[in-house]
Amino acid sequence: MIEARPQPARKRRSISWRSREGRSVIYQVVAILSVIGAIALLVRNTLANMRERGIQSGYDFLNQPFGFDVSETLIPYEITSTYWTAFAIGMANTLKVAVVGIILATIVGTLVGVGRYSANWLVRKLCYAYVEFFRNVPIYLQLLIWYIVFTEVLPSYDELWQIGHFYLSKNGFSFPWPVWLLGQNLAMAGGLLGVVAAWLYARRSRRLFDQTGQQRPVALVGLALIVGMAIVGWLAGGAPNEWSLPSRGTFQIENGASVTPEYLALLIGLVLYTAAFIAEIVRSGIASVSLGQHEAAASLGLTKRQSMRLVVLPQALRVIIPPLTSQYLNLTKNSSLAVAIGYPELVSIANTTLNQTGRAIEALSIVMLVYLTLSLITSALMNWFNARAAIQER
Amino acid sequence: MSSTNSSQFQPITARPMPGRRTGIVAWLRANLFSGPINSLMTLATVALLAWSLSHAFDWAVARAVFGAQLEACNNARGLGACWGVIAEKGRLIVMGRYPDTEHWRPVIATALMLLVVGASCMPRFWNRWLPLAWLVMLAVYFTLMKGGMLGLTEVPTDQWGGLPLTVMLTVISMTLAFPLSIFVALGRRSTMPAIRTICTLYVELIRGVPLITVLFMASFMLPLFMPHGVTIDVLIRVIVGITLFSAAYMAEVVRGGLQALPKGQTEAAATLGLTYWQTQRKIVLPQALAMVVPSLMNTFIGMFKDTSLVTIVSLYELTGALSLALNSDADWRPFKIEAYLFITLIYFVFCFAMSRYSLWVEARTAVSKVR
């Protein structure tokens, strides 16, 4: 009989250079200590320098008046408003360009990316040329060029271009906008309710599909729910259909909604630049689904639409979404270049603050905090979506 | 039942000749006019191209002024391009504020730098002489640019500018960022939680903020961080900023390569008795880095483009030198857009060449994978 092996001696948990665990503990302690030491040194130096140069610190300046004019505001602003308000406006302006930019860049990028697989030779080559050109020129330079186009090449106000109720000149772009009343608010609320209802319906029909194999027109019913509930909300609010139309005044366009040339330059520059990258991402996503998948779907008897929706798209999206997320974040971060063309977004406001108060650390920390929060939220959302789209491995 | 015709042989009518498969007409039919929608698309695109190209030709060639004649340029304003602005200011744009009489120095130094970088891109030069070539190149580069010895007049760094500065900022910061990024990437995959956390924090913090805030920090906050009496040249501060920024992005690229490597490789190395660093140096990194060369190249292209931002913290590289050259001269300032198009072309040539190189590397690794 084989003798029972002696119980292995319990590992001694001592910190020694000879054991792997011991070394790893020592390395980590050294790493942490050196990081803490470096930070402490920097803080000490900074405090000493600030004392010496008489730089004041603290965030108390946020309650003082900003004292500069801000050309574009989504929030009421007066010359006496505080730095707080100014930063809030900067953030709103960043979001305004980022959200619109992301939507437009996705549309343009998808079209161009699909266009690179067009059966038409001209369209294919045109899309290729677009991608190569816009990708290989710095976004900063592109913004400067668009800025010149919008402030110098466009006609002056006296000779503005007008198509229907749309006006374009050096002063900006004006367009009709609905007068915002109770009806619009209720329509928005109805639309949101519709989204929830559509989501519930999609979940239920998915369960039914798993149980019985019967398919329901999820997309159609969902769309009908959202649009229908929005219309119900609009009707409940008295069906307002009043539009604020821009009209030509003596010095500027009156009424309607308008955007400044700075905003337009920034938006178009960011959209065209980012769309070139998104096009490449979409193209590689399409390329990643092998032909065999299309064929297998066809041999199972799926229709072309079903194979697109159930087989091809889920696999392509898996490749597309992670890099697409970083492009969205890049667009948001690149909007900080607006500091060069005078669009009052977050970094411009921080730059003005920095020059006026000399509080570099405080101003930059606010900017970094906002961008970090935005990136973390976006990554979290996209990781959640990505986890749903990822391969469900057994 | 009778078949009266069965005895009579009646051939079916001959099929028409198959359509042409080669030649211009066949190509046009297959690629441009394969169906009604396709044909419409072709016509619309041709119309759009004809309209825009004819206008562009009119502006850029037919009505353009090519010489440095200010009067002719002013007359052609709004109708034709004034390429004379490049003849007049081109040198200032490309060289920045570097003293006129010394322009041969940045030209030689940059050519040498590009030569060594170009050689480093070719596998046939990957031997032990390459690091030596880099050291010699850097020594010669900074001696030539800075001067102050060997009978060269000294040129302080705040006068460096234009394309040489763009190239130098990219090459130096990427060279510094590359080793750093390898350590950070290894750190992010380390089994030691403290080291992993530090590396992850670094990468996520840097990647979460725009480059411009990092540059602002380098320019406004780094001086505050230094001990009393120590001042650092703004060029060095910006290089530090760009290096730290690009190292975070490169670390993610390198990490992708590390993740793609099968676990069997490290296990095999462990059975051979290699230590951690031996494993990384001899087994893991050579394979992982070879896999990510195209993505590293993309980071390189990105950094080359992003150097244009240093003009915001008043270093006059290509884009900054342009503003410097034109903002100070009211006569030529109206022709900024022509000058912008000129440097657009410069950036495009550099970046396009780099992206072609990256495609070539990709094709080469794809070939080596086939057994």
Asked if residue B244 belongs to a domain, the reply is yes
Name the residue among B208, B301, B312 with its Cβ closest to that of A376. B208
Inspect the interface and report whether the beta carbons of A52 and B42 lie closer than 8 Å: no
| Mean predicted confidence (pLDDT) in B117-136 | 83
- Report residue A380 CA to chain centroid gap: 13
Comparing alpha-carbon positions, the chain B residue that sits nearest to A133 is B348
CA–CA min distance B6, chain A (Å): 41
- Report residue B90 CA to chain centroid gap: 22
CA–CA min distance B127, chain A (Å): 31
Asked if residue B308 belongs to a domain, the reply is yes
- CB-based contact, B225 to chain A, within 8 Å: yes
Q: Cα separation of A66 and A60, whole Å?
A: 13
The residue that leads in pLDDT, B210 or A50, is B210
Name the residue among B192, B216, B337 with its Cβ closest to that of A24. B192
| Rounded percentage of chain B residues whose pLDDT exceeds 70 | 96
- Per-residue tokens: A121: 């030779």
CA–CA min distance B31, chain A (Å): 5
Residue B371 clears pLDDT 60, i.e. is over it: no
Domain of residue B192, residue span: 155-318
Q: What is the pLDDT of residues B263-297, one digit of tens each?
A: 888 899 989 989 888 998 888 888 888 888 888 88
Comparing alpha-carbon positions, the chain B residue that sits nearest to A374 is B208
CA–CA min distance B266, chain A (Å): 17
CA–CA min distance B9, chain A (Å): 42
- CB-based contact, B341 to chain A, within 8 Å: yes
What's the start-to-end Cα distance of chain A, in Å?
42
Q: Indicate the pTM of the whole model.
A: 0.84
The confidence score (pLDDT) of residue A394 equals 46
Asked if residue B253 belongs to a domain, the reply is yes
Q: Cα separation of A269 and A340, whole Å?
A: 13
Q: Cα separation of A195 and A47, whole Å?
A: 53
Is the Cβ–Cβ distance between B229 and A366 less than 8 Å?
no
Label residues B237-270 b or e (16+ Cβ within 10 Å = b).
bbbbbbbbbbbbbbbbbbbebbeeeeeeebeebe
Give A336's DSSP letter.
Answer: G
- CB-based contact, A45 to chain B, within 8 Å: yes
Cα dihedral A33/A38/A44/A50 (nearest 10): -160
CA–CA min distance B282, chain A (Å): 21
Which residue stretches of chain A have pLDDT < 70? 1-15, 67, 69-80, 251, 386, 389-394
The confidence score (pLDDT) of residue A14 equals 62
- CB-based contact, B209 to chain A, within 8 Å: yes
Q: Which amino acid is at B6?
A: S
CATH number at residue B270: 1.10.3720.10
Is the Cβ–Cβ distance between B317 and B305 less than 8 Å?
no
Give A289's DSSP letter.
Answer: S
Residues forming beta bridges with residue A82, ordered by sequence position: A65
Count how many domains chain B has.
Answer: 1
The confidence score (pLDDT) of residue A182 equals 75
Mean pLDDT of chain B: 84
Give B7's DSSP letter.
Answer: T
Contacts of B370 (CB under 8 A, 6+ apart): none
Q: Which amino acid is at B303?
A: M
Q: Which domains does chain A have, with CATH numbers?
A: 83-153+260-389 (1.10.3720.10)
Q: Which residues of B touch A284 (CB under 8 A)?
A: none
Q: What is the pLDDT of residues B14-69, one digit of tens each?
A: 888 777 677 788 888 777 787 788 888 888 989 999 999 998 888 888 787 777 77
Name the residue among A24, A119, A137 with its Cβ closest to that of B344. A137
Inspect the interface and report whether the beta carbons of A360 and B205 lie closer than 8 Å: no
Asked if residue B35 belongs to a domain, the reply is no
- CB-based contact, A306 to chain B, within 8 Å: no
Asked if residue B191 belongs to a domain, the reply is yes
Inspect the interface and report whether the beta carbons of B319 and A138 lie closer than 8 Å: yes
The residue that leads in pLDDT, B221 or A201, is A201
Q: Which residues of B touch A50 (CB under 8 A)?
A: 224
The confidence score (pLDDT) of residue B1 equals 47
Name the residue among B46, B192, B348 with its Cβ closest to that of A137. B348
